[in-house]
Amino acid sequence: MLTAAEAMAERGHRVSLCAPTGSELLARAPASIETFAVDFVRDFDPVSFLRVWRHCRRRRIDVFCLNMDRVLRVGGLAARLAGVRAVIPRRGSEFPLKGHLNYRFQYQVVATALVVNSRATERTLCRDIDWRPRGRVHVLHNGLDLRPYQNPRPRHEVRAELGLADDDLVVLNVGELTTRKNAALLVSVVPDLLTEFPRLRVLLVGEGDQRHALQQQIEALDVGDHVRLLGFRRDVADLLNAGDLLAHTAHVEGFGFAVAEAMACGLPTVVTNASSLPEVLEEGVTGFAFADDDADGLRAALRRYLADPALRREHGEAGRRRVHTHFELGAKMDELERILELETGRRGS
Protein backbone atom coordinates (compact mmCIF):
# COMPACT_ATOMS: atom_id res chain seq x y z
CA MET A 1 0.00 0.00 0.00
CA LEU A 2 2.85 2.41 0.80
CA THR A 3 4.49 1.67 -2.55
CA ALA A 4 1.26 2.56 -4.36
CA ALA A 5 0.80 5.71 -2.27
CA GLU A 6 4.33 6.89 -3.06
CA ALA A 7 3.88 6.14 -6.75
CA MET A 8 0.65 8.13 -6.96
CA ALA A 9 2.23 11.05 -5.08
CA GLU A 10 5.19 11.04 -7.49
CA ARG A 11 2.69 11.24 -10.37
CA GLY A 12 1.25 14.46 -8.97
CA HIS A 13 -1.77 13.13 -7.08
CA ARG A 14 -2.67 14.30 -3.59
CA VAL A 15 -2.43 11.24 -1.34
CA SER A 16 -3.50 10.56 2.24
CA LEU A 17 -2.31 7.40 3.99
CA CYS A 18 -4.51 5.94 6.70
CA ALA A 19 -3.11 3.24 9.02
CA PRO A 20 -3.23 2.13 12.67
CA THR A 21 -1.55 4.22 15.36
CA GLY A 22 2.16 3.43 15.63
CA SER A 23 2.20 1.26 12.52
CA GLU A 24 5.27 0.85 10.34
CA LEU A 25 3.32 2.23 7.39
CA LEU A 26 2.91 5.60 9.08
CA ALA A 27 6.53 5.60 10.28
CA ARG A 28 7.89 4.91 6.79
CA ALA A 29 5.66 7.34 4.90
CA PRO A 30 7.60 10.18 3.21
CA ALA A 31 6.83 13.83 3.86
CA SER A 32 5.09 14.10 0.49
CA ILE A 33 2.22 11.93 1.79
CA GLU A 34 -0.26 13.15 4.38
CA THR A 35 -0.87 10.55 7.09
CA PHE A 36 -3.54 10.07 9.73
CA ALA A 37 -4.01 7.27 12.24
CA VAL A 38 -7.18 5.20 12.42
CA ASP A 39 -7.19 1.93 14.34
CA PHE A 40 -10.34 0.12 13.07
CA VAL A 41 -10.48 -1.91 16.29
CA ARG A 42 -13.88 -3.56 15.66
CA ASP A 43 -16.62 -3.94 13.06
CA PHE A 44 -18.81 -1.40 14.87
CA ASP A 45 -16.37 1.45 15.43
CA PRO A 46 -18.01 4.90 15.43
CA VAL A 47 -14.75 6.68 16.35
CA SER A 48 -12.89 5.33 13.32
CA PHE A 49 -15.98 5.86 11.16
CA LEU A 50 -16.14 9.56 12.07
CA ARG A 51 -12.40 10.10 11.58
CA VAL A 52 -12.54 8.68 8.06
CA TRP A 53 -15.78 10.53 7.21
CA ARG A 54 -14.37 13.88 8.36
CA HIS A 55 -11.06 13.40 6.57
CA CYS A 56 -12.74 12.46 3.30
CA ARG A 57 -15.10 15.45 3.51
CA ARG A 58 -12.39 17.95 4.39
CA ARG A 59 -9.88 16.71 1.81
CA ARG A 60 -12.50 16.01 -0.85
CA ILE A 61 -11.11 12.56 -1.46
CA ASP A 62 -12.00 10.99 -4.82
CA VAL A 63 -10.94 7.38 -4.25
CA PHE A 64 -10.52 5.27 -1.11
CA CYS A 65 -8.29 2.20 -1.60
CA LEU A 66 -7.96 -0.44 1.10
CA ASN A 67 -6.68 -3.91 1.87
CA MET A 68 -8.79 -5.34 4.70
CA ASP A 69 -12.45 -6.31 5.01
CA ARG A 70 -12.79 -4.55 8.35
CA VAL A 71 -11.55 -1.32 6.79
CA LEU A 72 -14.13 -1.78 4.03
CA ARG A 73 -16.94 -2.30 6.57
CA VAL A 74 -16.05 0.80 8.61
CA GLY A 75 -13.85 3.10 6.56
CA GLY A 76 -15.30 2.22 3.18
CA LEU A 77 -18.83 2.97 4.31
CA ALA A 78 -17.69 6.23 5.90
CA ALA A 79 -15.97 7.23 2.66
CA ARG A 80 -19.05 6.48 0.56
CA LEU A 81 -21.27 8.53 2.88
CA ALA A 82 -18.72 11.35 2.73
CA GLY A 83 -19.16 11.50 -1.05
CA VAL A 84 -16.05 9.61 -2.18
CA ARG A 85 -16.50 8.61 -5.83
CA ALA A 86 -14.79 5.21 -5.68
CA VAL A 87 -14.17 2.73 -2.85
CA ILE A 88 -11.82 0.03 -4.12
CA PRO A 89 -10.70 -2.91 -1.98
CA ARG A 90 -7.69 -4.95 -3.09
CA ARG A 91 -7.65 -8.69 -2.54
CA GLY A 92 -4.20 -10.24 -2.62
CA SER A 93 -4.94 -13.81 -1.47
CA GLU A 94 -6.72 -16.57 -3.33
CA PHE A 95 -9.56 -17.00 -0.86
CA PRO A 96 -13.22 -16.77 -1.90
CA LEU A 97 -15.68 -14.21 -0.62
CA LYS A 98 -17.95 -15.48 2.12
CA GLY A 99 -21.70 -15.77 1.74
CA HIS A 100 -22.55 -13.76 4.85
CA LEU A 101 -25.00 -10.91 4.41
CA ASN A 102 -22.41 -8.37 5.60
CA TYR A 103 -20.02 -9.51 2.83
CA ARG A 104 -22.76 -9.00 0.26
CA PHE A 105 -23.39 -5.52 1.63
CA GLN A 106 -19.67 -4.69 1.57
CA TYR A 107 -19.02 -5.82 -1.99
CA GLN A 108 -22.35 -4.95 -3.62
CA VAL A 109 -23.16 -1.67 -1.86
CA VAL A 110 -20.02 -0.18 -0.32
CA ALA A 111 -17.31 -1.18 -2.81
CA THR A 112 -17.60 0.37 -6.26
CA ALA A 113 -14.90 -1.80 -7.90
CA LEU A 114 -12.31 -4.38 -6.93
CA VAL A 115 -8.61 -4.96 -7.62
CA VAL A 116 -7.16 -8.49 -7.46
CA ASN A 117 -3.54 -9.49 -7.93
CA SER A 118 -4.00 -12.50 -10.23
CA ARG A 119 -6.41 -14.27 -12.55
CA ALA A 120 -6.49 -17.11 -10.04
CA THR A 121 -7.72 -14.75 -7.31
CA GLU A 122 -10.37 -13.44 -9.72
CA ARG A 123 -11.55 -16.98 -10.54
CA THR A 124 -11.74 -17.97 -6.89
CA LEU A 125 -13.48 -14.79 -5.75
CA CYS A 126 -17.07 -15.96 -6.28
CA ARG A 127 -16.52 -19.71 -6.00
CA ASP A 128 -18.70 -20.13 -2.89
CA ILE A 129 -21.37 -17.49 -3.49
CA ASP A 130 -24.24 -16.98 -5.93
CA TRP A 131 -23.72 -13.23 -6.43
CA ARG A 132 -21.08 -10.98 -7.97
CA PRO A 133 -19.37 -7.90 -6.52
CA ARG A 134 -20.59 -4.59 -7.82
CA GLY A 135 -18.57 -2.91 -10.55
CA ARG A 136 -15.45 -3.92 -12.39
CA VAL A 137 -12.91 -6.45 -11.17
CA HIS A 138 -9.45 -5.33 -12.26
CA VAL A 139 -6.56 -7.80 -12.40
CA LEU A 140 -3.33 -6.04 -11.46
CA HIS A 141 -0.35 -8.30 -10.88
CA ASN A 142 2.14 -7.28 -8.21
CA GLY A 143 4.98 -5.09 -9.38
CA LEU A 144 8.63 -5.56 -8.49
CA ASP A 145 11.15 -2.78 -7.93
CA LEU A 146 14.03 -4.25 -9.90
CA ARG A 147 16.78 -2.04 -8.50
CA PRO A 148 17.72 -4.24 -5.49
CA TYR A 149 18.13 -7.22 -7.82
CA GLN A 150 20.41 -5.50 -10.31
CA ASN A 151 23.41 -4.96 -8.04
CA PRO A 152 23.51 -7.76 -5.46
CA ARG A 153 26.58 -8.69 -3.47
CA PRO A 154 29.10 -10.94 -5.25
CA ARG A 155 27.90 -14.53 -5.43
CA HIS A 156 31.11 -16.04 -4.06
CA GLU A 157 31.10 -13.65 -1.11
CA VAL A 158 27.58 -14.60 -0.03
CA ARG A 159 28.33 -18.29 -0.49
CA ALA A 160 31.45 -18.00 1.63
CA GLU A 161 29.45 -16.41 4.46
CA LEU A 162 26.96 -19.28 4.29
CA GLY A 163 29.69 -21.91 4.24
CA LEU A 164 28.84 -22.94 0.67
CA ALA A 165 31.37 -23.97 -1.95
CA ASP A 166 31.42 -22.57 -5.46
CA ASP A 167 30.51 -25.99 -6.89
CA ASP A 168 27.60 -26.64 -4.54
CA LEU A 169 24.17 -26.87 -6.21
CA VAL A 170 22.00 -24.48 -4.19
CA VAL A 171 18.19 -24.68 -4.23
CA LEU A 172 16.28 -21.98 -2.37
CA ASN A 173 12.76 -21.92 -0.98
CA VAL A 174 11.64 -18.45 0.13
CA GLY A 175 8.47 -17.94 2.14
CA GLU A 176 6.72 -18.46 5.45
CA LEU A 177 7.26 -21.84 7.05
CA THR A 178 3.59 -22.80 7.11
CA THR A 179 1.58 -25.77 5.89
CA ARG A 180 0.23 -23.59 3.07
CA LYS A 181 3.77 -23.01 1.75
CA ASN A 182 4.51 -26.77 1.99
CA ALA A 183 8.30 -26.61 2.33
CA ALA A 184 8.12 -30.14 3.78
CA LEU A 185 7.57 -31.44 0.24
CA LEU A 186 10.93 -30.03 -0.86
CA VAL A 187 12.70 -31.54 2.15
CA SER A 188 11.12 -34.93 1.42
CA VAL A 189 12.78 -35.25 -2.01
CA VAL A 190 16.29 -34.34 -0.85
CA PRO A 191 17.47 -37.89 0.08
CA ASP A 192 16.72 -39.25 -3.41
CA LEU A 193 18.37 -36.27 -5.12
CA LEU A 194 21.50 -36.63 -3.01
CA THR A 195 22.26 -40.03 -4.54
CA GLU A 196 22.76 -38.27 -7.88
CA PHE A 197 23.78 -34.80 -6.70
CA PRO A 198 25.87 -35.10 -3.52
CA ARG A 199 26.75 -31.37 -3.66
CA LEU A 200 23.08 -30.41 -3.31
CA ARG A 201 22.31 -27.77 -0.69
CA VAL A 202 18.77 -26.58 0.15
CA LEU A 203 18.19 -23.24 1.91
CA LEU A 204 14.80 -22.55 3.48
CA VAL A 205 14.41 -18.79 3.94
CA GLY A 206 11.61 -17.67 6.24
CA GLU A 207 9.92 -18.20 9.58
CA GLY A 208 6.63 -19.75 10.62
CA ASP A 209 4.80 -22.21 12.81
CA GLN A 210 6.18 -25.21 10.89
CA ARG A 211 9.83 -24.49 11.69
CA HIS A 212 10.03 -27.09 14.47
CA ALA A 213 8.27 -29.73 12.36
CA LEU A 214 10.65 -29.05 9.47
CA GLN A 215 13.66 -29.34 11.76
CA GLN A 216 12.36 -32.70 12.97
CA GLN A 217 11.83 -33.84 9.38
CA ILE A 218 15.38 -32.80 8.44
CA GLU A 219 16.78 -34.76 11.38
CA ALA A 220 14.61 -37.81 10.67
CA LEU A 221 15.82 -37.91 7.05
CA ASP A 222 19.42 -37.34 8.15
CA VAL A 223 19.89 -34.45 5.71
CA GLY A 224 21.04 -31.82 8.20
CA ASP A 225 24.29 -31.31 6.30
CA HIS A 226 22.34 -30.48 3.16
CA VAL A 227 19.19 -28.61 4.31
CA ARG A 228 19.40 -25.42 6.38
CA LEU A 229 16.77 -23.20 7.97
CA LEU A 230 18.01 -19.63 7.55
CA GLY A 231 15.06 -17.90 9.22
CA PHE A 232 13.79 -14.48 8.22
CA ARG A 233 16.31 -12.56 6.11
CA ARG A 234 16.43 -9.05 4.71
CA ASP A 235 19.05 -9.94 2.10
CA VAL A 236 16.82 -12.14 -0.08
CA ALA A 237 18.19 -10.67 -3.31
CA ASP A 238 21.75 -11.56 -2.27
CA LEU A 239 20.70 -15.08 -1.26
CA LEU A 240 18.92 -15.64 -4.57
CA ASN A 241 21.92 -14.37 -6.48
CA ALA A 242 24.04 -16.93 -4.64
CA GLY A 243 21.69 -19.79 -5.57
CA ASP A 244 21.15 -21.93 -8.64
CA LEU A 245 17.35 -22.24 -8.69
CA LEU A 246 14.18 -21.65 -6.69
CA ALA A 247 11.68 -24.32 -5.67
CA HIS A 248 8.26 -22.92 -4.71
CA THR A 249 5.98 -25.60 -3.31
CA ALA A 250 2.94 -23.65 -2.04
CA HIS A 251 -0.56 -25.16 -2.13
CA VAL A 252 -2.15 -21.71 -2.48
CA GLU A 253 -0.55 -18.43 -3.49
CA GLY A 254 -1.96 -14.97 -4.07
CA PHE A 255 0.73 -13.94 -6.53
CA GLY A 256 4.07 -15.69 -5.99
CA PHE A 257 6.30 -12.74 -5.21
CA ALA A 258 9.26 -14.97 -4.36
CA VAL A 259 9.06 -16.53 -7.82
CA ALA A 260 9.21 -13.11 -9.47
CA GLU A 261 12.15 -12.17 -7.22
CA ALA A 262 14.05 -15.29 -8.25
CA MET A 263 13.37 -14.56 -11.92
CA ALA A 264 14.63 -11.00 -11.43
CA CYS A 265 17.91 -12.53 -10.18
CA GLY A 266 18.17 -14.76 -13.24
CA LEU A 267 17.20 -18.01 -11.52
CA PRO A 268 15.06 -20.71 -13.12
CA THR A 269 12.06 -21.70 -11.01
CA VAL A 270 10.23 -24.92 -10.17
CA VAL A 271 6.71 -24.13 -8.92
CA THR A 272 3.46 -25.77 -8.01
CA ASN A 273 0.90 -25.71 -10.81
CA ALA A 274 -1.57 -24.04 -8.48
CA SER A 275 -3.19 -20.67 -7.87
CA SER A 276 -1.44 -17.79 -9.61
CA LEU A 277 1.97 -19.42 -9.98
CA PRO A 278 1.47 -20.46 -13.63
CA GLU A 279 0.74 -16.78 -14.36
CA VAL A 280 4.17 -15.75 -13.11
CA LEU A 281 6.42 -18.21 -14.90
CA GLU A 282 6.30 -19.33 -18.53
CA GLU A 283 6.26 -23.12 -18.57
CA GLY A 284 9.30 -24.64 -20.23
CA VAL A 285 10.78 -21.20 -20.89
CA THR A 286 11.50 -19.66 -17.47
CA GLY A 287 10.75 -22.68 -15.31
CA PHE A 288 8.80 -25.90 -14.80
CA ALA A 289 5.53 -26.52 -12.96
CA PHE A 290 4.49 -29.69 -11.16
CA ALA A 291 1.17 -30.86 -9.71
CA ASP A 292 0.34 -29.74 -6.20
CA ASP A 293 1.93 -31.97 -3.54
CA ASP A 294 3.45 -34.24 -6.22
CA ALA A 295 6.85 -35.31 -4.88
CA ASP A 296 7.69 -37.24 -8.06
CA GLY A 297 6.92 -34.22 -10.22
CA LEU A 298 8.98 -31.91 -8.03
CA ARG A 299 11.90 -34.35 -7.97
CA ALA A 300 11.86 -34.73 -11.76
CA ALA A 301 11.78 -30.97 -12.37
CA LEU A 302 14.62 -30.34 -9.94
CA ARG A 303 16.68 -33.12 -11.49
CA ARG A 304 16.38 -31.53 -14.95
CA TYR A 305 17.89 -28.30 -13.69
CA LEU A 306 20.48 -29.80 -11.36
CA ALA A 307 21.86 -31.91 -14.21
CA ASP A 308 21.96 -29.16 -16.82
CA PRO A 309 23.74 -25.86 -16.04
CA ALA A 310 23.16 -24.61 -19.60
CA LEU A 311 19.40 -25.04 -19.18
CA ARG A 312 19.55 -23.22 -15.85
CA ARG A 313 21.28 -20.27 -17.52
CA GLU A 314 18.89 -20.24 -20.49
CA HIS A 315 15.72 -20.31 -18.38
CA GLY A 316 17.19 -17.93 -15.82
CA GLU A 317 17.86 -15.27 -18.45
CA ALA A 318 14.39 -15.81 -19.94
CA GLY A 319 12.92 -15.29 -16.47
CA ARG A 320 14.85 -12.06 -16.02
CA ARG A 321 13.45 -10.76 -19.31
CA ARG A 322 9.91 -11.81 -18.36
CA VAL A 323 10.01 -9.92 -15.07
CA HIS A 324 11.23 -6.78 -16.84
CA THR A 325 8.46 -7.09 -19.41
CA HIS A 326 5.50 -8.15 -17.25
CA PHE A 327 6.10 -7.27 -13.59
CA GLU A 328 8.21 -4.10 -13.43
CA LEU A 329 6.91 -1.84 -10.66
CA GLY A 330 6.72 1.40 -12.63
CA ALA A 331 4.57 -0.18 -15.33
CA LYS A 332 2.24 -1.68 -12.71
CA MET A 333 1.84 1.69 -11.02
CA ASP A 334 0.94 3.19 -14.40
CA GLU A 335 -1.77 0.52 -14.68
CA LEU A 336 -3.01 1.35 -11.19
CA GLU A 337 -3.22 5.04 -12.06
CA ARG A 338 -5.32 4.20 -15.13
CA ILE A 339 -7.64 2.05 -13.01
CA LEU A 340 -8.15 4.82 -10.44
CA GLU A 341 -8.81 7.41 -13.15
CA LEU A 342 -11.28 5.08 -14.84
CA GLU A 343 -13.17 4.44 -11.60
CA THR A 344 -13.30 8.08 -10.51
CA GLY A 345 -13.75 9.62 -13.93
CA ARG A 346 -11.18 12.28 -13.12
CA ARG A 347 -7.58 12.91 -12.07
CA GLY A 348 -6.70 13.46 -8.41
CA SER A 349 -7.21 11.55 -5.19
Fold type of domain 147-326 = Rossmann fold (3.40.50)
The predicted model gives 87-113 an average pLDDT of: 92
The predicted model gives 5-16 an average pLDDT of: 92
| pLDDT score at 100 | 87
pLDDT at 139 over 80: yes
* CB half-sphere exposure, 346, CA atoms < 13 A: 10
pLDDT at 198 over 50: yes
The predicted model gives 153-173 an average pLDDT of: 97
**pLDDT above 70 coverage of the chain, percent:** 99
Domains 2-143+329-344 and 147-326 share a fold: yes
Burial class, 12, CB count within 10 angstroms (exposed 0-12 / middle 13-18 / buried 19+): exposed
The predicted model gives 104-120 an average pLDDT of: 94
pTM of the predicted protein model: 0.91
DSSP symbol at 225: T
Fold type of domain 2-143+329-344 = Rossmann fold (3.40.50)
**pLDDT tens digit string along 171-190?**
999 999 999 999 999 999 99
pLDDT at 349 over 50: no
- 284 vs 68: which has the higher pLDDT: 284
pLDDT band at 346 (very low <50, low <70, confident <90, very high): low
**pLDDT tens digit string along 278-307?**
999 999 999 999 999 999 999 999 999 999
| pLDDT score at 99 | 87
Q: Count how many residues are written for the chain.
A: 349
**pLDDT above 90 coverage of the chain, percent:** 85
Bridge partners of 63, per DSSP, are 86
CB atoms within 10 A of CB 31: 7
Closest CA to 92 of 76, 115, 112: 115
Alpha-carbon distance of 38 to 129, in angstroms, equals 31
Domain boundaries of the chain, sorted by first residue: 2-143+329-344, 147-326
| pLDDT score at 348 | 45
| pLDDT score at 280 | 96
pLDDT at 347 over 60: no
**pLDDT tens digit string along 236-273?**
999 999 999 999 999 998 899 999 999 999 999 999 99
Average pLDDT, the chain: 94
Phi-psi region of 60 (alpha: psi -120 to 50; beta: other; left: phi over 0): left
Query: Where do the H-state alpha helices sit in the chain?
Result: 2-10, 24-28, 46-59, 69-71, 77-81, 101-105, 119-125, 147-150, 155-162, 183-196, 211-220, 236-241, 257-264, 277-280, 295-306, 309-326, 329-344
